[in-house]
Structure 1
Amino acid sequence: MAARGLGTTVENPQAMAQERAHQGQLPADNHVHTHWSWDTPDSSTMRKACERAIAQGLPAIAFTEHLDFTVWDPEDRATDEGLVERHASRHAEIDVAGYFAELAEVRDRFPELRIWSGVETGEPHLFSASVAAYLRDAPVDRVLGSLHSLSKDGLLYGVGQLLWDDAEGTMRRYLGELVDMIESSDVFQVLAHVDFPRRYWPGGTHRYVEKDYEEEYRAVFRALAGSGRALEINTSSPLASADQVRWFHEAGGEAVSFGSDAHAPTAVGQKFDLAVAVAEAAGFRPGRDRFDFWRR
């Protein structure tokens, strides 16, 4: 019997997860936030996250802090589209010097753990000039591409706010915008949380019917597969289904990345045993080494 939220193609994900855990082959966590992200508490330090990763048996961790913009470059597409600001924004810049100083400290402290630098770029297709300028001055190992917001009347709104007006229309627009983001931005290596709006679905995530959007999902996965980039299996609730990851595999997707999207150290590596079962059910296997993405 399939576990709730994992789709219908995993016969016994719990058993598969237990077997994998015994084999000690959990993947790297490629999506972790610390207090250098604007939405993460001061108590979430790199040291605590690394300690959790080691306790979980993970081979590597990537600190992918939020790279969002409230002021953008005149050369950004956001300027061309007439966007003037973010609605009710709490976004803040990354303290680059502080981030890299703490990164160096944990690399020295935990030599047994591979520790990558990174950013999670919000709406990178709208801010290509701003993203390029940041990465030119502060290059990183991992770049995730995310879509958290959509435009409305000259402002960028968090997608969760827009769902309450028109959930179905917003979801279809969101998935269409993802295709645009993939096709018009090549800065990111991994597409993060492909169904991010589902976290905020009106009435609860259990009301979300993934199958209703299969055509739009498949369009996203065709674009991503064609670009040769990886799809993230994001383990922040709700977990992606095996059906969804299989659609990516059927589109020719080459690789998947695992990301806890942790905003607290205790969430590092969360549900990775189940995520691995989902990836295997969809046709993906460990890559060239334990630090690699999983591949078809």
Structure 2
Amino acid sequence: MRPPDNHVHTEWSWDTADSASMIAACTQAVAEGLPAIAFTEHLDFTVWHAEDRATTSGMRGRHPGQQLPIDVEGYFADIAECRERFPELRIWSGIEAGEPHLFAASLGRHLERSPVDRILGSLHSLELNGHLVGVTRLLWSDADGTMRRYLAEVVDMIESSDVFQVLAHVDFPRRYWPGGTDRFVEKDFEEEYRAVFRALAGTGRALEVNTSSPLASADLVRWFREEGGEAVSFGSDAHQPKAVGQRFDLAVDVVEAAGFRPGRDRFDFWRR
């Protein structure tokens, strides 16, 4: 059984090309035999609401500040068109909320106006000198220290925000590891990973196996299960239609080896 792709970006995400159409992504999902697809566009804030933690903690800005808001009118028009054109495919609306623990008020206002089916929580940036700075900029000066700080911040994000259903790409810094991803050793960070997984398991939320990142090992997913994790989500993190469902066969092998199986129906998360 092929799982849904719960993490896909289209032209409505600020970092994705205009050529990444929702219709093309749905066409690819059908060709891949996926039962469902979630269009989880980036929602990142460059202006803080007065009640956001980013404001109350004294953060002054984001570097670089290239993030743009979602054109929700255009986005939902595309969702409606795709649901009409692809009745055989379940199509979920969604967002990937960046640093949701820092922007609870801003997120709340957005979701009140534009509710969605699927919400991912992700961490791309850490604080440096009063600014949010992309993790990739920090890795080159201290890779191990940045990774440990990143995973500690993920714990804080889980404990401080209940808005998201799925923790996206817990392995995000690994994509940009100095000297190449093959130099990253999961075992070196087992204690920190397990702290993340205990926190996530305690909330009952799902861990994403992200297939744009270097594929998680069965050991890593097993650590989540051993810490009480109940559910796993699959996400291609596609930013082009051809990447929808990429490497899902390998990801299924990893997740099954870690002790998870298909859920209640073909649209569900996989479960222990």
Name the TM-score, length of structure 1 as normaliser. Answer: 0.91
Amino acid at match of 1:235: T
Q: Does 1:142 align with 2:129?
A: no
Unaligned runs of 5+ in 2: none
Name the residue aligned to 1:125. Answer: 101
Amino acid at match of 2:73: A
How far apart are the structure 2 equivalents of 1:285 and 1:207?
A: 30
* SS of residue paired to 1:285: coil
User: 1:29: Cα distance to partner?
Assistant: 0.2
How far apart are the structure 2 equivalents of 1:202 and 1:250?
A: 30
Q: Does 1:102 align with 2:71?
A: no
Match for 1:228 among 204, 208, 233?
A: 204
Amino acid at match of 1:247: W
How far apart are the structure 2 equivalents of 1:177 and 1:230?
A: 18
Name the residue aligned to 1:187. Answer: 163
Deviation string 1:103-144 (CA, Å, 9 cap, x unpaired) is 100000000000000000000000000001100000000000
User: 1:237: Cα distance to partner?
Assistant: 3.2
User: 1:197: Cα distance to partner?
Assistant: 0.2
How far apart are the structure 2 equivalents of 1:84 and 1:104?
A: 38
Name the residue aligned to 2:256. Answer: 280
How far apart are the structure 1 equivalents of 2:219 and 2:41?
A: 29
Match for 2:183 among 207, 231, 243?
A: 207
Q: Does 1:36 align with 2:51?
A: no
Amino acid at match of 1:283: G
Name the residue aligned to 1:239. Answer: 215
Amino acid at match of 2:59: L
Name the residue aligned to 2:24. Answer: 48
* SS of residue paired to 1:36: coil
Amino acid at match of 1:295: R
Query: Matched residues, percent identical?
Result: 76
Name the residue aligned to 1:22. Answer: none
Amino acid at match of 1:68: D
* SS of residue paired to 1:145: strand
Amino acid at match of 1:285: R
Name the residue aligned to 1:87. Answer: 63
Name the residue aligned to 1:6. Answer: none
How far apart are the structure 2 equivalents of 1:186 and 1:241?
A: 27
Name the residue aligned to 2:245. Answer: 269
Amino acid at match of 1:173: R
* SS of residue paired to 1:119: strand
Deviation string 1:132-179 (CA, Å, 9 cap, x unpaired) is 110000000000000000001010000000001111110000000000
How far apart are the structure 2 equivalents of 1:74 and 1:244?
A: 38
Amino acid at match of 1:51: T
Please, what is the CA RMSD of the aligned residues? 0.5
Amino acid at match of 2:149: R
Asked whether the 8 Å contact 2:5–2:38 carries over to 1, the reply is yes
Asked whether the 8 Å contact 2:171–2:213 carries over to 1, the reply is no
Name the residue aligned to 1:114. Answer: 90
Name the residue aligned to 2:138. Answer: 162
Greater shift after overlay, 84-93 or 248-257? 84-93
Q: Which runs of 4+ in 1 moved over 3 A?
A: none
Name the residue aligned to 1:256. Answer: 232
Aligned residues: 272
How far apart are the structure 1 equivalents of 2:216 and 2:239?
A: 18
